[in-house]
Structure 1
Amino acid sequence: MTVTAAIDGAAGSATWADALLLSFAQAGYVRAQPDILQPAEPFLDLSGEDIRKSLYLTTDASGEELCLRPDLTIPVARDYLASGRAGQPAGFSYLGPVFRFRDGQPSQFLQAGIESFGRQDRAAADAEMLALALEATSAFGLSDVEIRTGDVALFSALIDALELYPVWKRRLIKDFNRKVSLAHDIEQLTLATAPGRNEYEGVLAALAGSDRKAALALVTDLMSIAGTTNVGGRTVAEIADRFLEQSTLKSGALPPDALATIKRFLSIAGDPDDAVAQLRALADDTKLDLTAAIDQLESRVGFMAARGIDTSLTRFSTSFGRGLDYYTGFEFELHAKGYANGQIKGDGIEPLVAGGRYDGLMSQLGSAAPIPAVGFSVWIEALTQLRKPARSTS
């Protein structure tokens, strides 16, 4: 049964949100009801800056920092990991209040959604999430929505293939996840970030332009003279890498070839099939091995088409990111546009539905083995407002 059919068949007293949840259950997703009060640490460590700065925090009698849940992905994931099904394929749906400070808007609002854990058929699972998200908006009377998609795994694969220094890799990925416009700001990312001098200035100058072997030899000699083998629990190799990263940041901009490649990559946008062709051309021209990441994108597009999604109307952009640090692959947002029930929609700045793949989150939450994960959230109030019939002026 489709989401639309489930809602149309729901009892008149049921809310649209409850009917939506029922449709998710009929699609095989079990109702999850995580606690409203959650440990704050996972959200502070793993969420994006927008969520971190909007948390409602408190402390219990033992000193543990707690928060009102700002979303439901991490709470549902924590409950799954604590259950007997951890590591096995499992799907959950949810409906409940979440709490975030939002300037000029209510801090408590209703959110529904789906989280899918443990499925190894990643491309098919990604396509299923997008199809269910589109059915959810359609059920609220929005048949014409803008589909925005991206894939942070492609950017990660590019940065890995370029074999940049670790400090550049970390900074570029971090700023991509935080929705920084890399095409505009990338030169700034590679400038020296430690103005002024410090006690290690001479060492940094000596390491500038060195390879890792030379850096390791220098730091090993210095520590040998000092009669120590580690500092603060760090090994000689770790300390050498840290000094090398600092000297790299102070040495200037990214290599011109790498900078040009990243800019070309970030300019790819439009039809997903065209994007695949442009990405393969980029990989061929630069001799970079991006095959696995591009194949995953192409496979996902195929599964999307198999589910009836018109991929030619789907906007794909290599620079698209949702601003959450834990995303590792496919990301998407659905935005309002055009008309529904005779009403002109809003400007589409805030998504009606949004989600993506976060394969690394389970390990960060304590799983001993990696567990694939993908899901999405539905902003119930926004959808409900958009489907209200226009008021009569007679």
Structure 2
Amino acid sequence: MYPNLYYAFRDLFGIEAKGLRFVNSFGFFVALSFLAAAWVLTHELKRKERAGLLTGQDVKITVGKKAGFGDILLNFVLGFILGYKIIGLFLSNDPATEDPQSFIFSAAGNWPVGIGLGLLFAGIKWWEKNKQKLEKPEERVVRIWPHDRVGDLVIYAALFGFLGAKIFHNLENWNEFWASPIEALLSFSGLTFYGGLICAAVAIFFYARKHKIGFKHLCDAVAPGLMIAYAIGRIGCQVAGDGDWGILNSAYVTTPDSKVVLADTTQFNTALQANSRFYLKTFQVESLAQVHHKSVKAPSWLPDWMVAYQYPHNVINEGSPIAGCTDPQYCNQLPIPVFPTPFYESVAGFLLFALLWALRNRLKVPGTMFAIYLIVNGLERFFVEKIRVNTTYSIGGFHPTQAELISSGLVIGGIALYIYLTKRKQPAA
């Protein structure tokens, strides 16, 4: 596992770049997922614009104005924060920077770099505005196309998606939130995909309505992008080992030197008993008999890690110590390997993206592409939940997870939406 890019570069290329320890692997892949989604969305919006399905909006802008105090102040603040915190993080020798998250939310930083970069940003803004200044500012009408707003759409999706993911995660893990609410809210870990999807969708709906972008066509355009973003984001979960993994594979155990070996029932139970406190807490159960597991041996043509992975050096430091590990952080592994569900979801996500990409020119009824996305996304998540570790609810004798409830709703909603849209387009008899 590579908790951050420092470990990846050290292991893969033999390069020890200390600054890379501040680039979290999960965050890196999340950033890549947003870039991929933005590219796909831009491509699809342009295609719909060429087909006449989406039109631009005429907007009045004032050109030739000199830089105002507010513009200069805003750029100074942005430059100061970037220099004081982000660049300061890389330049600091403070041991606290070993935990970048704590450093970001602390008062520590680099004042000279912050002030210097703030002045640079403010100066650049003044220079740009001064270069375009006219003796008499004038109003002009420009046409803004939907694809010109992709940057705004991605920012809205990121902000509200992160907010929704945190809210839904804390609702799902209420006891952990109640025990330490500030830490739970500020932590970069603990994100629920469906919470992010729902909140981001609401924000984008109001944004689209404000700027007169056809919401059905926008949903169709964003569907393939959402799927490939999910696939890439799950790579981050797998690489970092963020705890979003599957149930125990009782056909294997992990050795102290981080090898996964076949085990019988006795060896599995011995390993389970030896790590009872860890597993009782992880599965939130009262006895080891309630710990969820399945016994699946990998066929000869498949690597063992694809069905049983111990997540060595995982970013959340879960499990038992790895023998001989001397790193100051990330020296734990899972004593019993688990099903690597992030890997399964990445593979499924790329395959479903290919399916949606192939269908995008064949589905002629607006909104049906998004309906198909809801169905396949919901089905994928519903079935993978059967082998994932998650908090369950007790509803009428059933014990579904939050994701199972939401994914079931997505499948039902997607089917209903598809039927409604296609029937509405049919001419009356």
TM-score, length basis structure 1: 0.23
Q: Which has the higher helix share?
A: 2
Higher relative contact order (CA 8 A, sep 6+): 1
Q: Which has the higher strand share?
A: 1
Larger Rg: 2
TM-score, length basis structure 2: 0.22
